[in-house]
Amino acid sequence: MNALLKIIFALCLVLQTHALLAHGSVVPEGDLCIIRIGFYTAHFKVFQPQQSRDREYCEDLPDTGETVFVMDYIHKGLAQVPIEFRIIRDATGLGRYASLDDVLKLGDLEPLTVFHQPPTLETGVFTVLHKFSETGAFLGVVSARHPETGELYSAVFPFSVGFRSWGMLPLFAALAALAQLGYWLFTGGYVRWRARRKSAMDINKYSRIVMLLPLFLLLGAAPAPDSKSWSSSSGAVKISFTSSVNPVPLNEIHSWTLHVTTGNGTPVENAKVSVSGGMPLHNHGLPTAPVVTAYLGNGDYRVEGIRFHMQGDWEMQVIVTQNNTSETIFIQLTL
Ligand SMILES: [Cu+2]
């Protein structure tokens, strides 16, 4: 047993160094991943909101389906360069060791491309969304052309979709489990477990029903979504909203009408209203900068240019200023 543990430990070490070499232009730094596009750097995050909500990935993705790639600029110069984003099937055969040179040797990338966004200027956060329909090995290619020198900088990051590349580790884990099982059967542990399990079963049946009861009660008590309102911490200002697209859409520019009242429901007329937002759990902002474009009367304000680029928990921050006092209201919504 001791020898087996040593083998597993040695294997972990080997896989660890393997993983460190593995990210191409994306390198881990603490809990974050950094992508280097020439001298440009950005925090690099990948989400699969439908499958794993707020889990952040830097390379290998467990599932197919909707995937969001996010680059939060560290080097602010990236806000002024059009960024090109391409995902190709890995035809280099090099997997995690593929470099930019290997990609250039492939020649025409068009036949291998599964996703391509031509150079796009994003002043805030760069995000692209792609729905993977098949598992496999892929290469991401990110390029940015320097606006003055004209030089093209590129980054390549190999990643896999739909499986975890843990190398031989699962095999060794299975071996260890088998050894443990053998020991257990041999010492009679199984017989004792069977006896305990049988008496536990009858209790389980009832406790499960009791545990579900509060859930039913909660579902019955949930308020209708359109009657929702949010207050500032002092309670002086209250806000509700209606969206031009219902329900609030994913990845679509739309507008909101904010209804702003005092705590007791009197409309707040002609105030200065500003709106921003983001995902607190992902630590990133909105991909757009919404603007209040009109006061519509009766405490209603039109906000244009809202876009949510991924599923999950969002928070909108609304600041209402009138007579030199500002109140801040946070609106929580889950997409
Ligand atoms: Cu997010």
- pLDDT tens digit sequence for 182-216: 666 666 665 565 655 555 555 455 454 444 444 44
Whole-angstrom distance, CA of residue 62 vs CA of residue 162: 5
For residue 197, the model assigns a pLDDT of 58
Lowest-pLDDT choice from 106-115, 190-199, 222-231, 244-253? 190-199
Whole-angstrom distance, CA of residue 57 vs CA of residue 40: 21
At 264, the pLDDT band (50, 70, 90 cuts) reads very high
Whole-angstrom distance, CA of residue 233 vs CA of residue 77: 37
For residue 58, the model assigns a pLDDT of 81
| 138 bridge partner residues | 89, 159
Strands, sheet with 237-243, edge to edge from the N-terminal-most edge strand: 230-231, 237-243, 254-262, 300-306, 291-297
How far apart are the CA of 310 and the centre of ligand 1, in A?
6
Amino acid found at 29 = E
For residue 32, the model assigns a pLDDT of 73
226-263: buried (b, 16+ CB within 10 Å) or exposed (e) per residue?
Answer: eeeebebeeeebbbbbebbeeebeeeeebbbebbbbee
How far apart are the CA of 275 and the centre of ligand 1, in A?
18
- Structure confidence by residue, pLDDT tens digits, 134-148: 999 999 999 999 888
Cα(first)–Cα(last) distance of the chain, in Å?
Answer: 49
CA dihedral 81, 85, 91, 94 (to 10 degrees): 60
How far apart are the CA of 54 and the centre of ligand 1, in A?
7
Which residue in the block uniquely carries the two structure tokens 């031009």? 244
How many residues comprise the chain?
335
Strands, sheet with 152-161, edge to edge from the N-terminal-most edge strand: 113-120, 83-89, 136-145, 152-161
Q: What is the mean pLDDT of residues 9-32?
A: 54
How far apart are the CA of 43 and the centre of ligand 1, in A?
13
CA distances from 72 to 66, 79, 275 (A): 20, 10, 20
How far apart are the CA of 46 and the centre of ligand 1, in A?
9
Indicate if the pLDDT at residue 221 is higher than 90: no
How far apart are the CA of 329 and the centre of ligand 1, in A?
21
Lowest-pLDDT choice from 94-98, 196-200, 240-244, 289-293? 196-200
Kindly report the average pLDDT of the chain as a whole number: 79
Lowest-pLDDT choice from 168-172, 224-228, 257-261? 168-172
At 76, the pLDDT band (50, 70, 90 cuts) reads confident
How far apart are the CA of 286 and the centre of ligand 1, in A?
9
Q: Greater confidence, 56 or 314? A: 314
At 176, the pLDDT band (50, 70, 90 cuts) reads low
